[in-house]
Amino acid sequence: QLIPRGIRSPEVLAVMRKVPRHLFIEQNFHGDAYGDHPLPIGADQTISQPYMVALMTELLDVRTDQRVLEIGTGSGYQTAILAELAREVYTVERITSLANSAQSRFEQLHYTNIQVRIGDGTVGWKEYAPYHRILVTAGAPSVPEPLIEQLADGGKLVIPVGSRMSQMLHVLTKQQGQLHTTTSCPCVFVRLIGQDGWEH
């Protein structure tokens, strides 16, 4: 389903084949784990459809020597995909139960390059900045300023931006302090809630 929809990167296709998506989903949805749609993960949140995970990963263009910040850990599936491609991944989730379940999955699957933080990711994670790549997996009203500040020069930020109901996938690159923005496609994400996001 990924190749006919235009995913081309051999690295992305390889990790999408490798990471066991069903292990990030509750048992009663296992039969549906690889379907072309999002699924509930509890706490009114969703795991994105495989195509959206692959597309955002391809747009992010992660290299093996890079440090990545992800906002919106959710089930941890996208985090694991990033951890297969990057040197280290820092991921922030505002809902404690989701962050804890994701952390247990990372331990079970022996990921040693993922750090999880519980909190508001719209303010980023200053301690480990700057990041070569930043991925936001929830829909924002605008690009949070702290994330722009914490993006390394030459870095890339992928984020859905728009209204509460629908967004456009934005790709920002920072070069010599200047930001360049392109858009990829329309999308629908749960809301990014926080200081530089939507109000709760």
- Catalytic annotation, residues: 48
Helix, coil or strand: residue 188: coil
Rounded to a whole number of angstroms, the minimum distance from the CB of residue 76 to ligand SAM is 6
Beta bridge partners of 42: 45
Asked if residue 48 binds ligand SAM (CB under 6 A), the reply is yes
The radius of gyration of the chain's CA atoms, rounded to the nearest angstrom, is 15
CA pair distance 90, 85, nearest whole angstrom: 13
Nearer to ligand SAM, 37 or 153 (CB): 37
Smaller CB separation from ligand SAM, 66 or 78: 78
Give yes or no for residue 84 binding ligand SAM (CB under 6 A). Answer: no
**Distance (Å, rounded) from C-alpha 170 to C-alpha 161?**
7
Cα separation values, 52 from 41, 48, 56, 114, Å: 16, 6, 6, 21
- 122 touching ligand SAM, by CB under 6 A: yes
Strand partners, 161: 140, 168
Q: Is 103 in the site for ligand SAM (CB under 6 A)?
A: no
Between CA 127 and CA 166 the distance in angstroms is 32
Question: Is residue 121 within the footprint of ligand SAM (CB under 6 A)?
Answer: yes
Q: For ligand SAM, which residue of 50, 60, 103, 120 counts as binding (CB under 6 A)?
A: 120
Supply the minimum distance, in Å, between the C-beta of residue 24 and ligand SAM.
6
Residues that bind ligand SAM (CB under 6 A): 41, 45-48, 71-72, 74-75, 77-78, 92-95, 98, 120-122, 137-138, 189-190, 192-194, 197
